[in-house]
């Protein structure tokens, strides 16, 4: 089974308020992208890596991969307007030998081999996909534009879902073939009737959105 990872790193990261895209914000000593890249390179599960970089940043992404000695990186391509467009650009680079695809947000730098193993396992049991998640612990409210609470949403059965997300390559290709968009890959597989399961995620897979997130992830390095 050949496992290809698509590392999506083409987000602009406007909420960080920096001059460069989020993937190149400093996390410790290195650009943020270096952390997930190094971890996927070192993962025993991953055979090949496609990087999806912000348009115009493909070259710095490749140089970074070379600097880190990431021999599994086969391509760095430009991302699109939305995350779904970026995943689509990554899918176009998959080799014919790709049986399984892991899609991972570069903005979640602290990916571990344990979580990769957990999302891959259900695929051999016939699932169309597996995603890491954590049960929602806070009480959830729907709030209107003026800050007034409209309703309290029952949190039973609600999970906050992370990446890496794993799928058989043909399932993911079909899910992205008809131009749909969603904030994660599983949603497009689910929309076609695919059966996707949730496995235990990791609180350290926090997605970096703000400077405070960046500092928090840096403190966990």
| Minimal CB distance residue for ligand C5P | 11
Q: Which is nearer to ligand C5P, 204 or 207 (CB)?
A: 207
Residue that is written with structure tokens 């909420």 in the block: 15
Residue 146 DSSP label: T
Query: Which of 103-111, 138-146, 167-175, 196-204 is the region at the interface with ligand C5P (rule: CB under 6 A)?
Result: 103-111
210 binds ligand C5P (CB under 6 A): no
* Region of residue 31 (left: phi > 0; alpha: psi -120 to 50; beta: else): beta
Token couple for 129: 């996909």
Q: Which is nearer to ligand C5P, 11 or 201 (CB)?
A: 11
Query: Which of 43-51, 77-85, 114-122, 153-161 is the region at the interface with ligand C5P (rule: CB under 6 A)?
Result: 77-85
Alpha-carbon span 129 to 168, nearest angstrom: 7
Token couple for 193: 């009737």
Smallest gap from Cβ 50 to ligand C5P, in A, equals: 12
75 binds ligand C5P (CB under 6 A): no
Pair 106, 23: CB distance under 8 Å = yes
Per CB under 6 A, which of residues 7..36 are in contact with ligand C5P?
8-11, 22-23
Cis-peptide, bond into residue 164, ω within 30° of zero: yes
Alpha-carbon span 105 to 164, nearest angstrom: 7
Q: Which is nearer to ligand C5P, 13 or 122 (CB)?
A: 13
Residues that bind ligand C5P (CB under 6 A): 8-11, 22-23, 52, 79-83, 86, 105-107, 183, 207
């Amino acid at each position: 089974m050949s496992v290809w990872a698509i590392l999506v790193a083409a987000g602009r990261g406007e909420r960080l308020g920096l001059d460069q895209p989020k993937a190149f914000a400093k996390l410790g000593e290195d650009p943020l992208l270096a952390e997930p890249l190094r971890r996927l390179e070192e993962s025993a599960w991953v055979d090949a890596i496609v990087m999806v970089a912000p348009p115009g940043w493909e070259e710095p992404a490749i140089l970074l991969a070379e600097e880190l000695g990431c021999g599994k990186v086969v391509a760095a391509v430009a991302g699109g307007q939305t995350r779904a467009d970026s995943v689509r650009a990554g899918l176009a680079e998959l080799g014919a030998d790709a049986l399984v695809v892991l899609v991972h947000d570069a903005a979640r730098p602290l990916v571990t081999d344990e979580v990769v193993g957990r999302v891959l396992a259900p695929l051999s049991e016939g699932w169309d996909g597996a995603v890491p998640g954590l049960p929602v612990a806070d009480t959830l409210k729907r709030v209107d534009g003026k800050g007034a609470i409209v309703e309290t949403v029952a949190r039973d059965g609600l999970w906050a879902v992370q990446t890496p997300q794993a799928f058989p390559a043909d399932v993911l290709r079909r899910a992205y073939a008809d131009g749909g968009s969603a904030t994660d890959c599983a949603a497009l597989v689910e929309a076609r009737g695919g059966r996707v399961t949730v496995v235990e995620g990791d609180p350290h897979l926090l997605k970096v959105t703000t400077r405070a997130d960046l500092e928090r992830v840096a403190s966990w390095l």
